[in-house]
């Protein structure tokens, strides 16, 4: 991150030398896009705001959208500058149309480009004979209305290789045209993700023909991810199965939609994986366990399949389903290397239920969300290590609703795994919440084996620094690495700085815990260098906005004290 920010400063100075009055940050980021560290800085569509600001001032009436009064024409000089900067963009995230909050949280409106602004810009691009963004290869597009479909036309003229299209509209009108435009790029598209959030039409019936025709034309397609309710109605799976380069296949499901009845036999519209899927290396799906069992058991073994992720939509009916599921996975993917399972399993799941995995000699990593595993004792983990001795990566997740004693139970599980599973070199734990206090008792661990990495994933309602301190108390000087980033299927980590209902006194108590955490991390810094890099950024931005959109009081005594502690520790300067 430090290197990325240094490069941004250099590029910033270059652009400011060329145009001192307006600097589009998005163009700066894209200039050095090849740096992996910069990719995390290009997420939300708000990054387009400075670019569109080149075309005119923002209206006060649209604080959360990119809007310019329609009666103000685009200055040709501003258009020239817009074109120059737009050529630098390689990956574009954009929403066109009205605000849509039925799926997103109402208090977190999604910034969008107003149709009035985009229409005028699109017309100027068409009249100039050039694509609106001539260099983009990856497009993440939300179409929020029928009018937005027409506006998006110039975006499809770019040399696209990756498309993530979310259709949020009151009608299916326009999708056939979009599909026909994308088919013109059939030779270049390698990755396609589709999602439909319909408001008054049934996409299962009205878009499937166009969808199949579009997908089957992408002969170079490598990755395909579509909704379950569309997948179960695809009439031409044989055409998709014949795609020669398809390696990644995913089915996803929106819980907030209840369109049609997804029956156990037709949730994927696919009775089995046949020889047409012989190039498949990754499968991601969710649904009832009996659907997965039927699909896996009726399929031809796929030797190329290396990774399976499955999320059960309902609890297991009994403890017999779990070993059957593992056996079907082993039969389907004899060379499996990574397995990710999210299952609400009965409490009587035993270590012996994992025995089917002993047949997978190439299995190296397991990511599993099963609360029962985090209550195993040391003897059970020793048995688990003997059952799957080839395992080197283990990631556990749990919901503290079932076990609210975190972080103690989590730390106990870590201590058991470290002492009982000597082959584990990469251990991860994802927890959705921990209390804002440190555990009363210290849990000691034997010296960690050389090279062991411990990864922590945290949700929005977690104080990860508290867990870091608890882990340090447990591991002592043997701690090698703690991170707060996403790994495999882990959600992206972030910190909720302050609850909206939290008073100053409660917040001050949390600040006191943070102070201890920062001092602890300061002592660790000479040992492990850039410890907890992602955590430093939210601490540095204490005066920024919290989730509710309410700024923290900059004059708060507790905030001032924490900021001074952060600066005095030298922790921030060494990490960023």
Q: How far apart are CA 219 and CA 87, in angstroms?
A: 28
- pLDDT, greater one: 209 or 225: 225
pLDDT class for 503, splitting at 50, 70, 90?
Answer: low
Instruction: Select from 398, 527, 376 the least CA-distant residue to 456.
Output: 398
Provide the mean pLDDT of the chain: 62
pLDDT class for 249, splitting at 50, 70, 90?
Answer: confident
Q: Looking at the DSSP assignment, which residues form a beta bridge with residue 251?
A: 226
Q: What is the mean pLDDT of residues 392-413?
A: 61
Q: Which residue has the tokens 């609360």?
A: 371
Q: What is the predicted pLDDT for the residue at 108?
A: 39
Q: What is the predicted pLDDT for the residue at 217?
A: 85
- pLDDT, greater one: 96 or 497: 96
* % of the chain beyond a pLDDT of 90: 2
Ramachandran class of 258: left when φ > 0, alpha when ψ lies in -120 to 50, beta otherwise: beta
What CA dihedral angle connects 185, 186, 187 and 193, to 10 degrees? 90
Q: What is the predicted pLDDT for the residue at 195?
A: 80
Distance of CA 118 to the CA centre of its chain: 28
pLDDT class for 252, splitting at 50, 70, 90?
Answer: confident
Q: What is the predicted pLDDT for the residue at 293?
A: 83
- Asked if residue 294 has pLDDT above 60, the reply is yes
Per the CB < 8 A criterion, the answer to whether 410 and 443 are in contact is no
Q: How far apart are CA 238 and CA 383, in angstroms?
A: 44
Q: How far apart are CA 196 and CA 211, in angstroms?
A: 12
Cβ burial, residue 425 (10 Å; 0-12/13-18/19+): middle
Per the CB < 8 A criterion, the answer to whether 481 and 531 are in contact is yes
- Asked if residue 337 has pLDDT above 80, the reply is yes
pLDDT class for 472, splitting at 50, 70, 90?
Answer: low
Q: Which of 65-69, 291-295, 510-514 has the lowest mean pLDDT?
A: 65-69
How many other CB atoms are there within 10 angstroms of residue 93's CB atom? 18
Helix (H, G, I), strand (E, B) or coil at 393: strand
* % of the chain beyond a pLDDT of 70: 42
- Quickly count helices (H) and strands (E) in the chain: 21, 14
Q: What is the pLDDT of residues 162-201, one digit of tens each?
A: 888 887 766 667 788 888 888 888 888 899 888 877 555 5
Helix (H, G, I), strand (E, B) or coil at 151: helix
Q: What is the predicted pLDDT for the residue at 481?
A: 36
Q: What is the mean pLDDT of residues 294-298?
A: 83
- Asked if residue 351 has pLDDT above 80, the reply is yes
- Asked if residue 387 has pLDDT above 50, the reply is yes
Q: How far apart are CA 498 and CA 121, in angstroms?
A: 40
Helix (H, G, I), strand (E, B) or coil at 174: coil
Q: What is the pLDDT of residues 198-222, one digit of tens each?
A: 555 565 566 777 777 888 888 888 8
- pLDDT, greater one: 308 or 42: 308
DSSP 58-85: PPTT-TTSB---TTSPPPHHHHHHHHHH
Q: How far apart are CA 470 and CA 76, in angstroms?
A: 60
Tokens representing 454 are: 């411990």
Q: Which of 261-265, 305-309, 412-416, 556-560 has the lowest mean pLDDT?
A: 261-265
Q: How far apart are CA 445 and CA 321, in angstroms?
A: 35
Q: What is the predicted pLDDT for the residue at 63?
A: 31
What b/e string do you get for 502-512 counting C-beta neighbours within 10 Å, with b at 16 or more? beeeebbebbe
Per the CB < 8 A criterion, the answer to whether 190 and 162 are in contact is yes
């Amino acid at each position: 991150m430090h290197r990325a920010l240094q490069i941004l400063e250099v590029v910033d100075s270059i652009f400011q030398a060329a145009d001192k009055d307006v600097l589009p940050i998005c163009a700066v980021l894209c200039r050095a896009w090849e740096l992996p560290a910069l990719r995390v800085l290009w997420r939300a569509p708000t990054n387009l705001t400075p670019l569109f600001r080149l075309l005119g001032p923002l209206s006060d009436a649209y604080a959360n959208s990119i809007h310019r009064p329609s009666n103000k024409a685009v200055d040709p000089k501003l258009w020239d500058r817009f074109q120059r900067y737009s050529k630098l963009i390689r990956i574009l995230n954009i929403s066109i149309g009205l605000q849509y909050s039925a799926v997103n949280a109402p208090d977190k409106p999604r910034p969008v480009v107003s149709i009035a602004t985009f229409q005028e810009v699109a017309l100027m691009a068409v009249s100039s004979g050039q694509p609106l963004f001539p260099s983009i290869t990856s497009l993440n597009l939300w179409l929020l209305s029928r009018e937005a479909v027409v506006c998006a036309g110039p975006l499809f003229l770019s040399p696209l290789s990756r498309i993530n299209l979310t259709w949020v509209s009151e009608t299916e009108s326009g999708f056939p045209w979009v599909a026909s435009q994308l088919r013109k790029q059939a030779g270049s598209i390698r990755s396609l993700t589709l999602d439909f959030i319909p408001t008054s039409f049934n996409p299962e019936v009205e878009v499937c023909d166009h969808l199949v025709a579009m997908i089957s034309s992408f002969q170079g397609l490598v990755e395909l991810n579509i909704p379950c309710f569309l997948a179960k109605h695809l009439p031409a799976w044989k055409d998709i199965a014949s795609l020669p380069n398809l390696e990644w296949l995913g089915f996803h499901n929106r819980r907030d939609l209840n369109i049609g009845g997804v029956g156990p036999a037709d949730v994927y519209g696919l009775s089995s994986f046949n020889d047409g899927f012989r190039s498949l290396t990754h499968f991601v799906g969710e649904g009832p366990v009996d659907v997965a069992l039927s699909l896996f058991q009726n399929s031809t073994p796929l030797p190329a399949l290396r990774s399976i992720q499955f999320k059960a939509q309902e609890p297991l009916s009994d403890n017999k389903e779990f070993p059957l599921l593992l056996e079907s996975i082993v039969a389907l993917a004899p060379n499996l290397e990574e397995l990710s399972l999210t299952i609400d399993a009965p409490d009587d799941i035993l270590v012996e239920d994992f025995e089917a995995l002993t047949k997978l000699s190439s299995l190296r990593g397991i990511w599993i969300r099963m609360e029962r595993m985090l209550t195993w004792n040391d003897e059970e983990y020793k048995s688990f290590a003997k059952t799957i001795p080839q395992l080197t990566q283990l990631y556990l997740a749990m919901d503290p609703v079932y076990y609210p004693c975190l972080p103690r139970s989590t730390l106990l599980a870590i201590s058991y795994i470290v002492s009982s599973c000597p082959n584990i070199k990469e251990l991860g734990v994802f927890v959705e919440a921990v209390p804002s206090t440190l555990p009363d008792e210290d849990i000691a661990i034997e010296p960690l084996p050389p090279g062991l990495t411990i990864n922590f994933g945290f949700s929005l309602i977690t104080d990860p620094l508290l867990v870091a301190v608890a882990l340090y108390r447990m591991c002592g000087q043997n701690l090698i690495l703690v991170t707060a980033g996403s790994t495999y299927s882990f959600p992206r980590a972030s910190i909720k700085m302050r609850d909206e209902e939290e008073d100053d006194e409660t917040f001050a108590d949390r600040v006191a815990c943070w102070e201890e955490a920062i001092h602890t991390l300061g002592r660790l810094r000479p040992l492990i260098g850039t410890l907890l890099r992602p955590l430093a950024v939210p601490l540095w931005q204490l005066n920024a906005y919290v989730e509710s959109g309410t700024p923290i009081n900059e004059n708060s005594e507790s905030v001032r004290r924490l900021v001074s502690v952060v600066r005095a520790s030298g922790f921030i300067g060494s990490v960023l």
